[in-house]
Amino acid sequence: MARPVFTLGIEEEFQTIDPITRDLRSHMSKIVEDGKITLHEQVKAEMHESVVEVGTNICKNIDEARTEVVHLRRQVIELADRVGLKIAAAGTHPFSRWQDQPITPDARYDKIVEELQEAARSNLVFGMHVHIGIENRDLGVYMMNALRYFLPHLFALSTNSPFWEGRETGYKSFRTKVFERFPRTGIPGFFHSASDYDEFLALLIKTGCIDNGKKIWWDIRLHPFFDTIEYRICDMMMRADETIAVAAVMQALVAKIYKLKEQNLNFRVYRSALIKENKWRAARYGISGTLIDFGTQEEKPARQLILELLDFVDDVLDDLGSRQEVEYVLKMLEMGTGADRQLAVFHQTGDLTKVVDYILSETTHGL
Protein backbone atom coordinates (compact mmCIF):
# COMPACT_ATOMS: atom_id res chain seq x y z
CA MET A 1 0.00 0.00 0.00
CA ALA A 2 1.42 3.38 -1.06
CA ARG A 3 2.14 5.87 1.69
CA PRO A 4 0.23 9.19 1.68
CA VAL A 5 1.84 12.12 -0.10
CA PHE A 6 2.05 14.35 3.02
CA THR A 7 1.69 17.58 1.06
CA LEU A 8 3.18 20.81 2.39
CA GLY A 9 1.96 24.38 2.69
CA ILE A 10 4.18 27.08 4.21
CA GLU A 11 3.15 30.50 5.50
CA GLU A 12 5.70 33.22 6.31
CA GLU A 13 5.03 36.54 8.07
CA PHE A 14 7.39 39.35 7.03
CA GLN A 15 8.21 42.76 8.48
CA THR A 16 7.97 45.86 6.28
CA ILE A 17 10.92 48.13 7.07
CA ASP A 18 11.70 51.81 6.44
CA PRO A 19 15.13 51.70 4.71
CA ILE A 20 16.22 54.99 6.35
CA THR A 21 15.20 54.51 9.99
CA ARG A 22 15.17 50.68 9.86
CA ASP A 23 11.99 50.86 11.93
CA LEU A 24 8.81 49.01 11.05
CA ARG A 25 6.61 51.00 8.70
CA SER A 26 3.06 50.47 7.52
CA HIS A 27 2.67 49.35 3.92
CA MET A 28 -0.99 50.55 4.12
CA SER A 29 -2.06 47.38 2.25
CA LYS A 30 -0.27 48.65 -0.86
CA ILE A 31 1.95 45.54 -1.01
CA VAL A 32 -1.09 43.28 -0.61
CA GLU A 33 -3.19 45.13 -3.21
CA ASP A 34 -0.38 45.12 -5.78
CA GLY A 35 0.49 41.53 -4.89
CA LYS A 36 -2.99 40.20 -5.55
CA ILE A 37 -2.52 40.98 -9.25
CA THR A 38 0.17 38.30 -9.57
CA LEU A 39 0.01 36.31 -6.32
CA HIS A 40 -3.79 36.36 -5.81
CA GLU A 41 -4.65 34.86 -2.41
CA GLN A 42 -1.04 33.94 -1.68
CA VAL A 43 -0.40 37.36 -0.14
CA LYS A 44 -2.41 38.74 2.79
CA ALA A 45 -2.47 41.60 5.23
CA GLU A 46 -2.15 40.81 8.94
CA MET A 47 -3.42 42.54 12.07
CA HIS A 48 -0.67 45.18 12.08
CA GLU A 49 -0.08 47.24 8.95
CA SER A 50 3.66 46.56 9.06
CA VAL A 51 3.15 42.80 8.57
CA VAL A 52 2.65 41.01 5.27
CA GLU A 53 1.99 37.27 5.05
CA VAL A 54 2.64 35.02 2.09
CA GLY A 55 1.63 31.38 1.71
CA THR A 56 2.56 28.69 -0.77
CA ASN A 57 0.09 26.67 -2.76
CA ILE A 58 -0.28 22.99 -1.81
CA CYS A 59 3.09 21.41 -2.59
CA LYS A 60 3.55 17.69 -3.31
CA ASN A 61 7.12 17.60 -2.03
CA ILE A 62 9.86 19.72 -0.50
CA ASP A 63 11.29 20.65 -3.93
CA GLU A 64 7.99 22.28 -4.87
CA ALA A 65 7.86 23.97 -1.47
CA ARG A 66 11.36 25.41 -1.93
CA THR A 67 10.47 26.77 -5.38
CA GLU A 68 7.35 28.46 -3.98
CA VAL A 69 9.01 29.87 -0.84
CA VAL A 70 11.87 31.38 -2.88
CA HIS A 71 9.43 32.77 -5.49
CA LEU A 72 7.20 34.35 -2.85
CA ARG A 73 10.15 35.94 -1.04
CA ARG A 74 11.42 37.41 -4.31
CA GLN A 75 7.96 38.71 -5.17
CA VAL A 76 7.25 40.32 -1.79
CA ILE A 77 10.72 41.94 -1.76
CA GLU A 78 10.04 43.37 -5.22
CA LEU A 79 6.58 44.60 -4.20
CA ALA A 80 8.02 46.30 -1.12
CA ASP A 81 10.78 47.89 -3.17
CA ARG A 82 8.16 49.53 -5.42
CA VAL A 83 6.72 51.39 -2.44
CA GLY A 84 10.10 52.30 -0.94
CA LEU A 85 10.21 49.59 1.75
CA LYS A 86 12.39 46.62 2.65
CA ILE A 87 11.39 43.12 3.80
CA ALA A 88 12.82 41.51 6.94
CA ALA A 89 12.42 37.99 8.30
CA ALA A 90 12.61 37.69 12.10
CA GLY A 91 10.27 36.82 14.97
CA THR A 92 10.29 40.35 16.42
CA HIS A 93 11.70 43.68 15.30
CA PRO A 94 14.80 44.59 17.34
CA PHE A 95 13.60 48.03 18.47
CA SER A 96 10.22 48.98 17.00
CA ARG A 97 7.45 49.81 19.50
CA TRP A 98 4.08 48.17 18.97
CA GLN A 99 2.43 51.36 20.25
CA ASP A 100 3.59 53.12 17.08
CA GLN A 101 2.25 50.54 14.64
CA PRO A 102 -1.31 50.94 13.30
CA ILE A 103 -3.81 48.09 13.17
CA THR A 104 -5.07 47.04 9.73
CA PRO A 105 -8.68 48.26 9.23
CA ASP A 106 -10.69 45.05 9.02
CA ALA A 107 -13.81 43.80 10.83
CA ARG A 108 -12.06 40.55 11.82
CA TYR A 109 -9.12 42.38 13.42
CA ASP A 110 -11.44 44.93 15.04
CA LYS A 111 -13.25 42.07 16.75
CA ILE A 112 -10.01 40.48 18.01
CA VAL A 113 -8.74 43.82 19.36
CA GLU A 114 -12.10 44.52 21.02
CA GLU A 115 -11.98 41.15 22.75
CA LEU A 116 -8.28 40.88 23.62
CA GLN A 117 -7.42 44.58 24.01
CA GLU A 118 -3.72 45.29 24.67
CA ALA A 119 -2.77 41.63 24.25
CA ALA A 120 -3.88 41.97 20.63
CA ARG A 121 -2.50 45.45 20.00
CA SER A 122 0.92 44.46 21.36
CA ASN A 123 1.08 41.21 19.40
CA LEU A 124 3.62 42.58 16.93
CA VAL A 125 5.28 39.22 16.26
CA PHE A 126 6.12 37.20 13.19
CA GLY A 127 5.86 33.44 12.76
CA MET A 128 6.22 30.65 10.25
CA HIS A 129 3.46 28.04 9.95
CA VAL A 130 3.65 24.72 8.12
CA HIS A 131 0.69 22.59 7.03
CA ILE A 132 1.21 18.87 6.34
CA GLY A 133 -1.58 17.05 4.51
CA ILE A 134 -3.19 14.09 6.30
CA GLU A 135 -5.70 11.46 5.19
CA ASN A 136 -8.42 12.03 7.79
CA ARG A 137 -9.16 13.78 11.07
CA ASP A 138 -8.69 10.70 13.26
CA LEU A 139 -5.18 10.30 11.87
CA GLY A 140 -4.70 14.04 12.40
CA VAL A 141 -5.55 13.83 16.10
CA TYR A 142 -3.27 10.79 16.49
CA MET A 143 -0.46 12.76 14.82
CA MET A 144 -1.07 15.85 16.94
CA ASN A 145 -0.82 13.84 20.15
CA ALA A 146 2.51 12.28 19.14
CA LEU A 147 4.10 15.29 17.43
CA ARG A 148 3.70 17.53 20.48
CA TYR A 149 6.84 15.95 21.96
CA PHE A 150 9.03 17.28 19.14
CA LEU A 151 7.70 20.84 19.12
CA PRO A 152 10.41 22.26 21.45
CA HIS A 153 13.16 20.73 19.31
CA LEU A 154 11.76 22.37 16.16
CA PHE A 155 11.13 25.61 18.02
CA ALA A 156 14.70 25.75 19.34
CA LEU A 157 16.00 25.60 15.75
CA SER A 158 13.74 28.47 14.70
CA THR A 159 14.47 30.91 17.55
CA ASN A 160 14.92 34.34 16.00
CA SER A 161 13.52 37.01 18.34
CA PRO A 162 16.02 37.97 21.06
CA PHE A 163 15.07 41.68 21.15
CA TRP A 164 11.87 43.51 22.13
CA GLU A 165 11.35 47.27 21.95
CA GLY A 166 15.08 48.00 21.91
CA ARG A 167 16.05 45.66 24.74
CA GLU A 168 18.00 42.41 24.79
CA THR A 169 15.43 40.17 26.47
CA GLY A 170 17.67 37.28 27.55
CA TYR A 171 15.45 34.95 25.50
CA LYS A 172 16.33 33.42 22.15
CA SER A 173 12.61 33.68 21.31
CA PHE A 174 10.72 36.48 23.00
CA ARG A 175 8.04 36.22 20.32
CA THR A 176 6.49 33.25 22.08
CA LYS A 177 6.38 35.17 25.38
CA VAL A 178 4.42 37.96 23.69
CA PHE A 179 2.04 35.55 21.96
CA GLU A 180 1.32 33.63 25.18
CA ARG A 181 -0.84 36.56 26.29
CA PHE A 182 -3.48 35.28 23.88
CA PRO A 183 -5.91 32.61 25.09
CA ARG A 184 -5.82 29.10 23.60
CA THR A 185 -2.10 29.17 22.81
CA GLY A 186 0.81 26.88 23.66
CA ILE A 187 1.11 23.10 23.75
CA PRO A 188 -2.31 21.45 23.32
CA GLY A 189 -3.64 18.69 25.53
CA PHE A 190 -4.23 15.07 24.57
CA PHE A 191 -7.34 14.09 22.58
CA HIS A 192 -8.63 10.53 22.29
CA SER A 193 -10.12 10.87 18.80
CA ALA A 194 -11.40 13.29 16.18
CA SER A 195 -14.85 13.17 17.79
CA ASP A 196 -13.29 14.06 21.15
CA TYR A 197 -11.52 17.00 19.48
CA ASP A 198 -14.66 18.11 17.63
CA GLU A 199 -16.73 17.94 20.82
CA PHE A 200 -14.18 20.21 22.48
CA LEU A 201 -14.43 22.72 19.61
CA ALA A 202 -18.22 22.53 19.65
CA LEU A 203 -18.29 23.28 23.39
CA LEU A 204 -16.09 26.36 22.94
CA ILE A 205 -18.32 27.62 20.13
CA LYS A 206 -21.55 26.85 22.03
CA THR A 207 -20.34 28.72 25.11
CA GLY A 208 -19.19 31.79 23.16
CA CYS A 209 -15.45 31.27 23.72
CA ILE A 210 -14.79 31.21 19.97
CA ASP A 211 -16.87 31.59 16.82
CA ASN A 212 -14.81 29.13 14.77
CA GLY A 213 -11.93 26.69 15.15
CA LYS A 214 -9.36 29.14 13.75
CA LYS A 215 -9.51 31.02 17.08
CA ILE A 216 -7.51 28.14 18.57
CA TRP A 217 -3.89 29.28 18.27
CA TRP A 218 -2.07 26.26 19.68
CA ASP A 219 1.54 25.42 18.72
CA ILE A 220 0.15 22.55 16.68
CA ARG A 221 -3.45 22.07 15.67
CA LEU A 222 -5.68 19.98 13.51
CA HIS A 223 -6.83 22.59 11.03
CA PRO A 224 -10.59 23.23 11.38
CA PHE A 225 -11.24 23.51 7.62
CA PHE A 226 -8.45 21.63 5.82
CA ASP A 227 -7.17 18.06 6.11
CA THR A 228 -3.86 19.22 7.53
CA ILE A 229 -1.80 19.23 10.68
CA GLU A 230 -0.59 22.79 11.21
CA TYR A 231 2.66 23.48 13.07
CA ARG A 232 2.49 27.02 14.51
CA ILE A 233 5.31 27.14 17.07
CA CYS A 234 8.20 28.55 15.01
CA ASP A 235 9.61 32.04 14.86
CA MET A 236 9.93 33.54 11.42
CA MET A 237 13.38 32.45 10.23
CA MET A 238 15.82 34.66 8.34
CA ARG A 239 16.88 32.42 5.47
CA ALA A 240 14.60 30.60 3.08
CA ASP A 241 16.98 27.64 3.51
CA GLU A 242 16.15 27.58 7.24
CA THR A 243 12.41 27.65 6.58
CA ILE A 244 12.70 24.78 4.12
CA ALA A 245 14.93 22.71 6.42
CA VAL A 246 12.56 22.95 9.38
CA ALA A 247 9.50 22.33 7.16
CA ALA A 248 11.23 19.22 5.77
CA VAL A 249 11.82 17.91 9.31
CA MET A 250 8.16 18.58 10.14
CA GLN A 251 7.02 16.60 7.12
CA ALA A 252 9.48 13.80 7.93
CA LEU A 253 8.13 13.55 11.48
CA VAL A 254 4.59 13.08 10.17
CA ALA A 255 5.81 10.42 7.74
CA LYS A 256 7.78 8.64 10.49
CA ILE A 257 4.90 8.58 12.97
CA TYR A 258 2.65 7.27 10.18
CA LYS A 259 5.20 4.54 9.34
CA LEU A 260 5.36 3.44 12.98
CA LYS A 261 1.57 3.34 13.15
CA GLU A 262 1.45 1.16 10.04
CA GLN A 263 3.80 -1.23 11.85
CA ASN A 264 1.50 -1.18 14.92
CA LEU A 265 4.11 0.76 16.87
CA ASN A 266 2.93 3.74 18.89
CA PHE A 267 5.10 6.71 19.78
CA ARG A 268 4.84 7.35 23.49
CA VAL A 269 2.61 10.30 24.39
CA TYR A 270 3.87 12.65 27.11
CA ARG A 271 2.02 15.07 29.37
CA SER A 272 1.62 18.60 28.04
CA ALA A 273 3.11 19.96 31.27
CA LEU A 274 6.37 18.10 30.58
CA ILE A 275 6.55 19.29 26.97
CA LYS A 276 5.98 22.86 28.21
CA GLU A 277 9.15 22.54 30.31
CA ASN A 278 11.12 21.88 27.14
CA LYS A 279 9.34 24.67 25.28
CA TRP A 280 10.42 27.14 27.97
CA ARG A 281 14.02 25.96 27.72
CA ALA A 282 13.90 26.33 23.93
CA ALA A 283 12.52 29.88 24.21
CA ARG A 284 15.15 30.87 26.74
CA TYR A 285 18.27 29.18 25.36
CA GLY A 286 17.48 28.05 21.79
CA ILE A 287 19.92 25.35 20.68
CA SER A 288 22.54 26.49 23.20
CA GLY A 289 20.87 25.04 26.28
CA THR A 290 19.56 21.68 27.38
CA LEU A 291 16.28 19.90 26.82
CA ILE A 292 14.88 17.03 28.83
CA ASP A 293 14.90 13.57 27.26
CA PHE A 294 11.75 12.27 28.91
CA GLY A 295 12.46 8.72 27.74
CA THR A 296 15.67 8.54 29.78
CA GLN A 297 14.56 11.24 32.25
CA GLU A 298 17.80 13.17 31.75
CA GLU A 299 18.86 16.65 30.70
CA LYS A 300 20.77 16.59 27.43
CA PRO A 301 22.23 19.29 25.19
CA ALA A 302 19.58 20.55 22.78
CA ARG A 303 21.96 20.00 19.87
CA GLN A 304 22.34 16.33 20.83
CA LEU A 305 18.58 15.77 20.96
CA ILE A 306 18.14 17.50 17.61
CA LEU A 307 20.74 15.16 16.11
CA GLU A 308 18.82 12.22 17.63
CA LEU A 309 15.66 13.61 16.01
CA LEU A 310 17.41 13.59 12.62
CA ASP A 311 18.40 9.96 13.21
CA PHE A 312 14.79 9.16 14.15
CA VAL A 313 13.43 10.38 10.78
CA ASP A 314 16.37 9.19 8.66
CA ASP A 315 14.58 6.15 7.20
CA VAL A 316 11.77 8.22 5.62
CA LEU A 317 13.88 10.95 4.01
CA ASP A 318 14.72 9.19 0.75
CA ASP A 319 11.07 8.30 0.10
CA LEU A 320 10.15 11.94 0.72
CA GLY A 321 13.08 13.23 -1.36
CA SER A 322 14.08 15.57 1.44
CA ARG A 323 17.46 14.31 2.63
CA GLN A 324 19.39 17.36 1.41
CA GLU A 325 16.90 19.77 2.99
CA VAL A 326 16.88 17.98 6.35
CA GLU A 327 20.68 17.81 6.40
CA TYR A 328 20.75 21.62 6.23
CA VAL A 329 19.83 21.41 9.93
CA LEU A 330 23.48 20.40 10.52
CA LYS A 331 24.54 23.75 9.05
CA MET A 332 21.98 25.52 11.27
CA LEU A 333 23.49 23.83 14.34
CA GLU A 334 26.92 24.96 13.20
CA MET A 335 26.15 28.61 12.38
CA GLY A 336 23.61 29.18 15.15
CA THR A 337 19.97 30.17 15.00
CA GLY A 338 18.77 33.56 13.84
CA ALA A 339 18.75 34.69 17.47
CA ASP A 340 22.37 33.63 17.94
CA ARG A 341 23.41 35.56 14.83
CA GLN A 342 21.40 38.68 15.72
CA LEU A 343 23.00 38.73 19.17
CA ALA A 344 26.49 38.30 17.70
CA VAL A 345 25.98 41.37 15.48
CA PHE A 346 24.66 43.41 18.40
CA HIS A 347 27.45 42.40 20.76
CA GLN A 348 29.99 43.27 18.08
CA THR A 349 28.48 46.66 17.08
CA GLY A 350 26.23 47.76 19.96
CA ASP A 351 23.87 49.07 17.26
CA LEU A 352 20.39 47.62 16.72
CA THR A 353 20.12 49.28 13.29
CA LYS A 354 23.09 47.12 12.28
CA VAL A 355 21.09 44.10 13.49
CA VAL A 356 18.21 45.13 11.20
CA ASP A 357 20.68 45.50 8.31
CA TYR A 358 21.92 41.99 9.00
CA ILE A 359 18.36 40.61 9.06
CA LEU A 360 17.61 42.36 5.76
CA SER A 361 20.68 40.81 4.11
CA GLU A 362 19.91 37.33 5.47
CA THR A 363 16.29 37.58 4.27
CA THR A 364 17.55 37.68 0.68
CA HIS A 365 20.20 34.96 1.20
CA GLY A 366 20.03 32.24 -1.44
CA LEU A 367 17.29 33.90 -3.47
In a domain, 2, yes or no: no
**pLDDT for position 99:** 85
Residues 103-119: tens digit of each pLDDT: 777 778 788 888 888 87
Residues 188-238: tens digit of each pLDDT: 999 999 999 999 999 999 999 988 888 899 999 998 888 999 999 999 999
Domain that holds residue 19: 8-363
Residues 243-269: tens digit of each pLDDT: 999 999 999 999 999 999 999 998 889
**pLDDT for position 35:** 75
At 18, which CATH number? 3.30.590.20
**pLDDT for position 218:** 95
In a domain, 1, yes or no: no
Which residues lie closer than 8 Å to 13 by C-beta, 6 or more apart?
A: 46, 51, 52, 53, 126, 127, 128, 236
With pLDDT > 70 as the criterion, what percentage of the chain qualifies? 99
Distance CA 39, CA 72 (A): 8
Distance CA 177, CA 182 (A): 10
Residues 116-174: tens digit of each pLDDT: 888 778 889 999 999 999 989 999 999 999 999 999 999 999 999 999 999 999 999 99
Distance CA 148, CA 164 (A): 27
**pLDDT for position 1:** 59
Residues 26-58: tens digit of each pLDDT: 886 788 887 787 787 888 777 778 899 999 999
Question: How many independent structural domains does the chain possess?
Answer: 1
**pLDDT for position 261:** 94
- Record the pTM: 0.95
**pLDDT for position 171:** 98
Q: Which of 180, 166, 178 is nearest to 276 (CA)?
A: 180
Beta carbons within 10 angstroms of residue 141's beta carbon: 22
